[in-house]
Structure 1
Amino acid sequence: MDLTATTAHLAAASADLVRLVPAKLVDPVLAGVVLTAAPAGLTLSATDRERSASVESPAIVHTEGRVLVPAKPLAETLRALGDDRVRLVVEGSRLAIRTDTARFALPLLDIDLHPGVPANQETAHGTVSGAHLAEALATVAGTASRDDALPLFTGVRVRAEGRELVLRATDRYRMAIATIPWTPAGETDLDALVPAALLQEIGKQVAAEPAVELRTSANSFTATWPHSTATTAVLDGTFVSEANIVLSKVDTTVETDADALSAAARRVALHTNPRGVVTLEVGDTHLKVRTTPDAEGEAEEHLKATPTGGRTSPSYQSRYLVDALRPFAGGPVTLAIQPGMRATILTTPEPGEVKITYILVPIRPQS
């Protein structure tokens, strides 16, 4: 194999691949990247058996070939180069990375031991805007649990419902739901629980793309956008739904500025104990954010608000409340408050093409 490429393009492609399939395995073969040089350019691919991805990069191919080298060292070397052009060439048992003034060499791994990137057998697919998908995932994927001991809560349920794609995730204490426009390309509805960590990275990479194709099969999920494809095994996530949450007992609604409420919650939480519990006290014409006086001190802050319904004083962990307000930054937010320990529903009065609903479970106030 022998090729020449623009360093910036090749470094970006290798970095994208490493983020889609992080090399965390002891097995050097599965921690490697397959480089395939063909007349059309260079394709970089990787898999850890659960997850796989491929990224295309433009290159002038002098000699076609296919090799396997360590993924992370390749990405780090390319990122560190200051030259505009780089040459990759097989020299004996090494892949040489050459510039006009330097040479670096990586060992060639046994490509015959690599399982390869599997082809997807799709049963449902369609397309969404990359910007819409990125905006939705910025909220929803962050709501999934990071506890690998509960794998079913570490995913995002991606479900097509007519002409809309609905993304849902929960860590049992909160749930985020995003609805975006969806263009189906088949009669079978898409429905899969996809690892949130992968979707977060996909969201970052597709934000500027006009279209992203999503496909599912019986046990896999694939996202494809220009020059890149990512595939992962899926979980059984049909239980991730708001259907079992009572959302119809709302007796108080409050409309206020999301940024103001978030800032107040952060300031007030500085004067509470490590649990960070803050209380929202709904008055006739205002909203008061306060703590319960204790040894850590006390604080309260009044905000302009438009309450409707009865007075109430739900309490929340401040970090969860701040997270719940983040997708509504820069505008108003409506809090639909239910009595007792029932969930609070956060929405925006005037949703755009990406509709966000955030469901937050209150916490018992400190006595």
Structure 2
Amino acid sequence: MDLTAPTAALAAAAADLVRLVPGKLVDPVLSGVLLTATAAGVELGASDRERTARVSCPALVHTDGQVLVPAKPLAETLRALTEPEVRLVVEGNRLAIRAEGARFALPLLDHTLHPGVTSVSGSGGVVSGASLATALSTVASTAARDEALPVFTGVRLRSEDDRLVLRATDRYRMAIASLPWAADGEVDVMVPATLLVEVAKQVSGVGQVRLVAAANQFAASWGQTAVTTAVLDGTYLSETKLALSDVDTRVVVDADALAAATRRVALYSDARGVVKLEVGDSEVRLRATDQNAGEAEESVKTTVSGGRTSPAYQSRYLLDALRPFAGQRVELAIQPGMRATVLTAVDPGEVELRYILMPMLPPKA
């Protein structure tokens, strides 16, 4: 194999690939990048047997070929180069990375042992990259990170008429986002949230993303990039199992003002980080107390309808719930007792978001 490519483009392709498939260090083959050079350019591929990705890059190919080399050293070397072009050429049992006045060489791994990069064909649809990134940045962050509970570590993507609905929960909160999409079939899959967090970062600036589901696999493709993954069992995940019909208090408040007050008051919260939200006639008063830290309270002006109540929330979860509504007015639909509170934007945009937050036992006086 022998090719010349723009350094910046090749470095970006390698970096994107490594983030999509970090690799398994215990197996050098699964930590490698498969480089395939043809007349069309060079394709970089990776697989850990559960997840695969491929990124294409333009290149002037002098000699076709396919090699497998360690992925992270390749990505880090390309990122460090400042020359506009770089040459990759096989020299014996090494892949030489050549730039003006410099040569770096990576060992060749046995590419015949690599599982290859799969593709998924099936039903799916197309969504806006920016809208998908907005939805995923909130929803994926609410999934559990505890691998001991894998059923809570994913995001459920389900087509509902002309909308794609995303849901995730860690049992203490749930985020639901709905966005328009052009479908050619139905989709209902549970996708690992760790992958979708990275997808969100990479698609925020692209026009369209195609999503496909088939045979216990999920695929997303955009531009010169495609990624596939095995799916989780997530058919259970639905907000219909939560009691959301007994709202007796509605509070409309500036999300930024409430978040800022929460951060300040939470400095005086107990070990659980719990703050109490007391609803008045035209304000909410945040309170926190701790035997050692002291106590704090702060009022925020609001529009209130319905009864008066005083739910308590873990401050970091309340801040997470308010974050996607930054710069907007948010409505808190509060249910009595220990039932969930639902946060929604007063003026939703193309991506409609609902954040369901479970209350906590209030701090002891």
Q: Same fold (TM over 0.5)?
A: yes
- 1:350 pairs, out of 347, 352, 355, with 347
Paired residues of 1:23 and 1:72 also in contact (CA < 8 A): no
Report the counterpart of residue 157 of structure 1 in structure 2.
156
| Cα distance, 1:24 vs structure 2 | 3.0
Provide the C-alpha distance between the structure 2 equivalents of 1:63 and 1:365, rounded to a whole number of angstroms: 69
The 5-angstrom pairing of residues 1-367 of structure 1 reads 1-122=1-122, 124-186=123-185, 189-292=186-289, 294-367=291-364
Return the offset for 1:120. Answer: 1.5
Instruction: Count how many residue pairs are aligned between Structure 1 and Structure 2.
Output: 364
TM-score normalised by L of structure 2: 0.98
What stretches of structure 1 of length at least 5 have no aligned partner?
Answer: none
* Cα offsets for 1:267-323 (capped at 9, x unmatched): 001112231110110001111111135332100001110011111000001000000
Judge conservation of contact 2:31–2:70 (CA < 8 Å) in 1. Answer: yes
Quote how far apart the aligned CAs of 1:209 are: 1.1
Query: Secondary structure, in 3 states, of the residue corresponding to 2:10?
Result: helix
1:32-86 Cα offsets, whole Å, 9 max, x none, are 0100011111100000000000001111111111100000110011111121111
Which whole-Å deviations, capped at 9, do the CAs of 1:248-274 have from their partners, x for residues lacking one? 000000000000101110100111223
Given that residues 3 and 89 in structure 2 are in contact (C-alpha distance below 8 angstroms), is that contact kept between their aligned partners in structure 1? yes
Distance (whole Å) between structure 1 residues aligned to residue 101 and residue 324 of structure 2: 48
Q: Note if contact 2:276-2:363 (Cα within 8 Å) is conserved in structure 1.
A: no
* Structure 2 residue identity aligned to 1:7: T
Specify the SS of the correspondent of 1:178: strand
Deviation at 1:218, TM superposition (A): 2.0
Q: With the length of structure 1 as denominator, give the TM-score of the two structures.
A: 0.98
Tell me the percent identity: 65
Could you tell me how far apart the structure 1 residues matched to 2:261 and 2:159 are? Answer: 37
- The runs of 4+ residues in structure 1 deviating greater than 2 Å are 292-295
Question: How much does 1:119 deviate?
Answer: 2.7
Per-residue Cα deviation, 1:166-213 (whole angstroms, up to 9, x for no partner): 000000000000000010013xx1000000010111111111111100
Query: Which amino acid in the other structure matches residue 27 of structure 2?
Result: D
Q: Secondary structure at the match of 1:321?
A: helix
Deviation string, structure 1 residues 306-347 (Cα, Å, up to 9, x no partner): 011111000001000000000100010000000000000000
Partner amino acid for 1:71?
Answer: A
Does the Cα contact within 8 Å between 1:272 and 1:294 map onto a contact in 2?
no
Alignment partner of 2:66: what SS? strand
In the alignment, the residues of structure 2 paired with residue 267 and residue 253 of structure 1 have an alpha-carbon distance, to the nearest angstrom, of: 23
Question: For the residues of structure 2 that align with 1:160 and 1:264, how far apart are their CA atoms?
Answer: 38
